[in-house]
Amino acid sequence: MAMEKVVDDATTSTTKSPEEIINLFKTKKIDKDWSFAECKPSDTGKWTHNYHRYPAKFIPQLVEKLIDDYISQEEAHINDPFMGCGTTIVTAISRGFKVSGTDINKIAYLITKVKSTPIDPKYLNKKIEQLLNRLKFLKESQAILFDDKIEPLIPQKHIDRINYWFTEENKNELGIILRVIYNEEDETIRNFFLVAFSHVLKNCSIWLQGSTKPTRDLKKNAAKPYDALQRQLRKMQKGNEAFYKVVPTKVRENLNQYLKIEVGDARNQPVSDETADLVITSSPYVTSYEYADLHQLSTIWLDLADDLTEYKKEFIGTSYKKYENKRLRSLIAKDIVSKMSKKSKKIAKEIEAFFIDMEEVFDESYRILKQGGRCCYVIGNTKLKGVDILNAEVFAESLQYSGFKFDRLIKREIPSKILPQRRDEKTGRFANNHEANSEAYPIEYIVVGLKE
């Protein structure tokens, strides 16, 4: 069965051996038109894409280009099993396509739901003014003179963590804001407000500014919650207005028919067999970000998890996972695990668990895609304890075990303004540039599988 010829150096044989895959990656040249280096923050953060900070998110231009390459019909179904903050979902909705996806991270689900829901601008503007007017006494107060009628809503089960991260004044002001937000009866508007609230938490805390690790800065001059919330709501207000204009009327009026997303495991999509046309996603990187840690302020304030440690264990790519009763199919992955075992048996088990999980995700992509459909996985390689972690090569090989044809490889440069560029070689964690000693992801790959 001959491999069809597509743009940007498609593979040319039916099945590629591990050696062929590794050689292909070594010889693959950078695809310059996939770096999007010319894009400004106003381009990558257009519409609702700037509603909430999110680590290592990919940009909408990448999703748009993949859709342009692989979707020619007016009606299509796009899936993202690791939807994160919703870049794929929002982009597909803007094109009038049906979308589906999951994320185990509950705040990611909330962000994606809000970002992909266009709201009538006049109605939203009215609701924003009502909220700010109800809270404006917070700005007018020169001291902690709070409205006696509003009792701060502060989740008591997480009070120790909240006290750890927030000053007493900001804690109470945030609690009042949260109480007023929850009094909003319209769920769509309430969720919109909650995303704005979630976004400002880091600035209003003593979390070290710019740090991707949970680190306190006891000297930090934390932002005032009302001021931060007002600024964020104004920004989101403009984003919604722009998004509302581009989303087709048929989608705005029947959103439930087009948007199907859930809090859930990437290995179990809310999609029937052979109904999706295209999968576009960026999976977690093994032992890279602990997303549950990064979003812990939102998790504790919005009361999204009873136990943070148990919550972390559900995430793919977490350092908490290891398997004793599952075996890897990928020979490249087995070799990486073997090399790491000589350095650290613990990390080797974590890497093994990550690749086992991803093999099951690929199986699920195969299940939901139509014949002729493609999955596009955005992933980079890295190094841990001197061992090359060839994530992309493993993905390319593993897709074949799931039934896909390894159809295309895109190699793109990552502009430094989009993704952190440095990591610590020993721990594998991202670090500040002055602390780090190794490149993180100077390039990344898009590995494309075709279901024939």
Question: Are both 95 and 134 inside the same structural domain?
Answer: no
Domain boundary, last residue among 215, 243, 271 = 243
Give me the amino acid identity at 157. Answer: K
Domain boundary, last residue among 243, 261, 291 = 243
Q: What is the mean pLDDT of residues 403-432?
A: 69
Residue 172 structural domain = 121-243
Question: Are both 226 and 356 inside the same structural domain?
Answer: no
Question: Are both 444 and 310 inside the same structural domain?
Answer: yes
Question: Are both 72 and 135 inside the same structural domain?
Answer: no
- Using a pLDDT cut of 70, give the percent of the chain over it: 85
pLDDT band, residue 420 (cuts 50/70/90) = very low
Question: Are both 328 and 375 inside the same structural domain?
Answer: yes
Give me the amino acid identity at 116. Answer: S
Question: Are both 230 and 257 inside the same structural domain?
Answer: no
Domain boundary, last residue among 220, 243, 266 = 243
Q: What is the mean pLDDT of residues 265-277?
A: 97
Residue 10 belongs to some domain of the structure:
no
Question: Are both 257 and 222 inside the same structural domain?
Answer: no
- 101-148 pLDDT tens trace: 999 999 999 999 999 999 999 999 999 999 999 999 998 754 455 555
Question: Are both 270 and 347 inside the same structural domain?
Answer: yes
Residue 12 belongs to some domain of the structure:
no
Question: Are both 414 and 318 inside the same structural domain?
Answer: yes
Question: Are both 82 and 231 inside the same structural domain?
Answer: no
Residue 302 belongs to some domain of the structure:
yes
- Identify the CATH number of the domain in which residue 331 sits: 3.40.50.150
**What was the pLDDT predicted at 8?**
42
Lowest mean pLDDT among 58-62, 210-214, 278-282: 210-214
Residue 1 belongs to some domain of the structure:
no
pTM: 0.89
Question: Are both 338 and 297 inside the same structural domain?
Answer: yes
